[in-house]
A and B are shown apart, each in its own frame.
Chain A
Amino acid sequence: METSRLTGNRIKDYLAEGKRFDGRKPDEFREISIETDVSKKAEGSARVKIGKTEVIVGIKLDVSEPYPDSPDKGKLIVTTELLPLSSPRFESGPPRFPAIEIGRLVDRAIRESKFIEFEKLCIKKGEKVWAVFIDIYSINNDGNLIDAAGIGTLVALKTARLPKYDEKNEKVLYGEPSNKKMPLSKEIPIITTIHKIGDNILVDPTLEEEDISEVRVTIGGTTDGTIFSIQKGNPKEISIENIHKILDVAEKTRKKVFLNLKRFLE
């Protein structure tokens, strides 16, 4: 059952006092727990829990022809599946917009930041490059899947190793990791989604809060203020003053989230 209007009103009233139902402040995240190498068959993987929300991200690599307009660059394909397992609200079938959006938001942040050094994924110009498949799966939805997906993607990429490639026989030797790590740059794109409920700005909503969110803005950027991607979601308008607030909160939030990720990203 979706959050009732009554509870929604209480959430708003409480937010006006700077408080949330689970005792957090509006700019506080729930407990983040991160595990790496959760899949033996993936080239890189991570399980991320934010409160009760859980996602698993896996990286698979394959060798294929490059795109004609970038003959010396590797490829990136980001897919998200909102598994029906993870919520009574998700149905079986082809991905619908919410899943597609998460995939595209993560893709944009990774691509625009040039976090993956695609030139280093070239095996033979014009003929063979590494294709990086990032597959994101929801395991339990209690709000804020986007940010969990972002964290999982960063950590999975950081721990990913290229498999050996048998050039003569044109075969990827899965299960035989080379000592080559995924080539990553130093600019780390952290994705955070900032929400507005009534006059209040908050981060990391529970499902209950997400249900009554009026505006959300997902921003991908670094901890030192460079922004790579922005997307506003939900069909309400927002004032310039509030966008400024959101940008400020986003920057502060990225720094806090980074502290949680630091030990995985070194």
Chain B
Amino acid sequence: MTKEKIERKIVIPGEVIVKGEDYLPGEGTEKKGDELIAIRYGLAEESNRLVKVIALSGIYQPRRGNIIIGKVENITFYGWVIDLDSPEGAFLPLQEVPKYVDKDRLNEILDIEDMIVAKIIGVTSRGIDLTIKSRGLGKIDEGIIMKINSNKVPRVIGKEGSMINLIKKESDCNITVGQNGLIWIKGNKIGNELLVKKAIMFVSEKSFTHGLTDEVKKWFEKERTKNKDKIDKIK
């Protein structure tokens, strides 16, 4: 019985993460004999004997149930082709829109270049199937769209939404985070929207710091004082 507990560490492809009969190969790893080997670059982590490599880089892996943000690329007879900034094609069929759609007037519902929030209802070899039938889904009317690496999304959302809720509160903005790394920010002031963008970049670049929530709170305080100084100067 092996007692070796592994700490989080950066691993590279082909590297042995840990040796032990009772370790199980999770995502990003392979078992060869009694060795757990990393098959991608990332952060190796172990919990309850399951060893996995958390990706730090790489493209978005679409999953059923994911909320994503995409751009209308093309309109066909049966629906809209959506670009998720990912190599798989995505499609929103006529039937997955929560209102009656006149087959000759698809562009009036969603036109080319429109941005949407949608949910993935299926991932097949043909591509990704989307819906905008539920609450909170549909065309994006205004705001800023930004992109981060999809692997950072869990950090930006935080445990049970703690990080994203903190950012929402501090900025007074609505924020929708797509699992594909696209994020929609809408506030009553452009300045606040940009503050959110900056905050998200901050979280995204500091992925490994413990106590990140506290750091973000401090960061917002600093930003507020900065802006306060600006206002004072104008006076």
Contact = CB atoms under 8 A, between A and B. Distances in A.
- Chains A and B directly touch (beta carbon < 8 Å): yes
Interface of A: 1, 4-7, 9-10, 13-14, 17, 19, 21
B71 A4 contact: yes
Interface string B184-203: 00000010011001000000
A6 B145 contact: yes
29 contacts: A1-B71, A1-B83, A1-B85, A1-B147, A4-B71, A4-B113, A4-B115, A4-B145, A5-B113, A5-B114, A5-B115, A6-B115, A6-B142, A6-B143, A6-B144, A6-B145, A7-B144, A7-B145, A7-B146, A9-B142, A10-B143, A10-B144, A10-B190, A10-B193, A14-B190, A14-B194, A17-B190, A19-B190, A21-B197
Contacts of B193: 10
A67 B190 CA distance: 57
A5 B143 CA distance: 10
Chain B: interface size category: 10 to 19
B140 interface: yes
A169 to B, nearest CB: 52
A6 B140 contact: yes
Contacts of A19: 190
A230 B193 CA distance: 37
Nearest to A14: B190
Contacts of B113: 4-5
Contacts of B142: 6, 9-10
Q: Rank and list the top 7 A-B pairs by shortest CB-CB distance, nearest first.
A: A1-B85, A4-B145, A14-B190, A10-B144, A7-B145, A5-B113, A7-B144
B190 A13 contact: yes
Interface of B: 71, 83, 85, 113-115, 140, 142-147, 190, 193-194, 197
The DSSP consensus for interface residues of chain B is mixed
Nearest to A13: B190
A13 B188 CA distance: 13
Contacts of A6: 115, 140, 142-145
Contacts of A7: 144-146
A7 B145 CA distance: 6
B86 to A, nearest CB: 10
Contacts of A5: 113-115
A92 to B, nearest CB: 18
Contacts of A17: 190
A1 B183 CA distance: 13
A10 B146 CA distance: 12
B231 to A, nearest CB: 14
Given A4-B145, A7-B144, A9-B142, A21 B115 contact: no
B186 to A, nearest CB: 9
Q: Which of B140, B144, B197 has the most CB of A within 10 A?
A: B144
A7 B113 CA distance: 12
Given A6-B142, A6-B145, 10 more contacts: A1-B85, A4-B71, A4-B113, A5-B114, A6-B115, A10-B143, A10-B144, A13-B190, A14-B190, A21-B197
Nearest to A21: B194
